[in-house]
């Protein structure tokens, strides 16, 4: 935790004294909210904006995190639960998660302080592929899977076509293991899709985002993305975005 004016000065934007003036003038936002009090403390992951522009100055960093179970994808939690940021104590940049995985979901999560990159990855028209391993309670039939693949209505909007493959069945415990490949990321989408056809998701693991997977990492560990990986993710998302524009 550090004082807001100190964080602004540390980014190289201006001196601490001038940062105090900016705060008093109501020109500084933290996580979207105007902060005009000088004692305000910011923590790692908080988004600081001056005149509605993200503070530049910090190096842009990109991490791949193997999200474990039992932590939430936000920067703080009023219930005091562990957050993904707690795993990045050694990282000084104000990173945040690109999108969300549920408390009990594991697997690939990108973390960055680059707002433009995060927006591009999350933008619905980028259609970045996400692959999940799913275990559901019950034995599901081909026809139901086909309905899910074609797209179903969730809260009034139709899901985009997706691919689902059954990878195993446990007849004794009556569970089915599947792989699902989605090109969108609505809130709790996988769970809602299966719930809508009467199946509860017991386990959810994100195997891949684009071409990025957690091979070589264990739950709770992270690594920096290679510059080429960041470049290729950007290119992939931009190409898909362009393709979608032309299709419309
Ligand atoms: N879909 C879900 O339901 N939960 C996740 O965490 C990710 C995708």
Mean pLDDT of the chain: 92
User: For the residues of 166-230, what is the DSSP string, one character each?
Assistant: EEEEETTTTEEEEEEEES---TTHHHHHHHHTT--EEEEEEEEETTEE-TT--TT-EEEPPHHHH
Task: Record the tokens describing residue 182, joined without a space.
Answer: 């989605």
Looking at residue 225, what is its pLDDT?
97
Q: What distance in angstroms lies between residue 190's CA and the mean position of ligand 1's atoms?
A: 5
The residue-averaged pLDDT of 106-118 equals 94
Indicate which atom in ligand 1 lies nearest the CA of residue 193.
3
Q: Check pocket membership of 109 for ligand 1, CB cut-off 6 A.
A: no
pTM of the model: 0.80
pLDDT higher than threshold 90 for residue 183: yes
Q: What distance in angstroms lies between residue 46's CA and the mean position of ligand 1's atoms?
A: 24
pLDDT higher than threshold 90 for residue 112: yes
**Residue in 67, 100, 102 to alter for ligand 1 test, most ligand atoms within 8 A of Cβ:** 102
Q: Check pocket membership of 191 for ligand 1, CB cut-off 6 A.
A: yes
Q: What distance in angstroms lies between residue 18's CA and the mean position of ligand 1's atoms?
A: 43
pLDDT higher than threshold 80 for residue 11: no
**Residue in 71, 132, 162 to alter for ligand 1 test, most ligand atoms within 8 A of Cβ:** 132
Residue 218 and residue 143: Cα distance in Å, rounded? Answer: 36
Q: What distance in angstroms lies between residue 93's CA and the mean position of ligand 1's atoms?
A: 27
CA distances from 82 to 70, 77, 86 (A): 7, 8, 7
Looking at residue 57, what is its pLDDT?
65
Task: Record the tokens describing residue 166, joined without a space.
Answer: 């059954």
pLDDT tens-place string over residues 158-172: 999 999 999 999 999
Looking at residue 241, what is its pLDDT?
76
Specify the residue with its C-alpha closest to ligand 1, atom 3: 188
Looking at residue 139, what is its pLDDT?
96
Q: What distance in angstroms lies between residue 186's CA and the mean position of ligand 1's atoms?
A: 8
- With cut-offs at 50, 70 and 90, classify the pLDDT of residue 118: very high
Looking at residue 16, what is its pLDDT?
86
All domains in the chain, ordered by first residue = 2-54 (3.10.290.10), 62-125+212-247 (3.30.70.580), 129-209 (3.30.70.1560)
Active-site entry in 86, 102, 137, 232: 102
Which sign does the torsion angle of CA 146, 147, 148, 151 carry?
positive
pLDDT tens-place string over residues 192-227: 999 999 999 999 999 999 999 999 999 999 999 999
- With cut-offs at 50, 70 and 90, classify the pLDDT of residue 46: confident
Specify the residue with its C-alpha closest to ligand 1, atom 7: 101
The helix or strand, by DSSP H or E, that contains position 66, with its residue range, turns out to be strand 62-67
Q: Check pocket membership of 130 for ligand 1, CB cut-off 6 A.
A: no
Looking at residue 248, what is its pLDDT?
64
Specify the residue with its C-alpha closest to ligand 1, atom 4: 188
Q: Is 102 assigned a catalytic role?
A: yes
């Amino acid at each position: 935790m550090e004082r807001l004016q100190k964080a602004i000065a540390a980014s190289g934007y201006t001196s601490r004294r001038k940062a105090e003036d900016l705060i008093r003038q109501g020109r500084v936002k933290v996580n979207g909210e105007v902060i005009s009090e000088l004692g305000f403390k910011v923590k790692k992951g908080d988004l600081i904006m001056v005149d509605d522009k993200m503070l530049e100055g910090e190096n842009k960093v990109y991490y791949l995190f193997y999200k474990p179970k039992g932590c939430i994808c936000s920067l703080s939690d009023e219930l005091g639960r562990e957050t993904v940021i707690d795993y990045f104590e050694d990282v000084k940049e104000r990173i945040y998660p690109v999108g969300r995985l549920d408390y009990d979901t594991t697997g690939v999560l990108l973390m960055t302080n680059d707002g433009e990159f995060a927006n591009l990855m999350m933008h619905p028209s980028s259609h970045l592929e996400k692959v999940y391993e799913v275990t559901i309670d019950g034995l599901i039939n081909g026809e139901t899977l086909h309905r899910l693949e074609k797209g179903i209505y969730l809260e009034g909007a139709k899901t985009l076509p997706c691919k689902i493959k059954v990878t195993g069945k446990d007849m004794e415990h009556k569970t089915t293991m599947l792989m699902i490949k989605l090109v969108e990321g609505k809130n709790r989408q996988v769970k809602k899709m299966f719930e809508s056809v009467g199946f509860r998701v017991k386990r959810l693991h994100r195997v891949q985002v684009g071409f990025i997977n957690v091979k070589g990492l264990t739950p709770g560990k992270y690594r920096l993305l290679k510059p080429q990986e960041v470049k290729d993710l950007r290119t992939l998302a931009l190409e898909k975005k362009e393709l979608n524009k032309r299709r419309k």
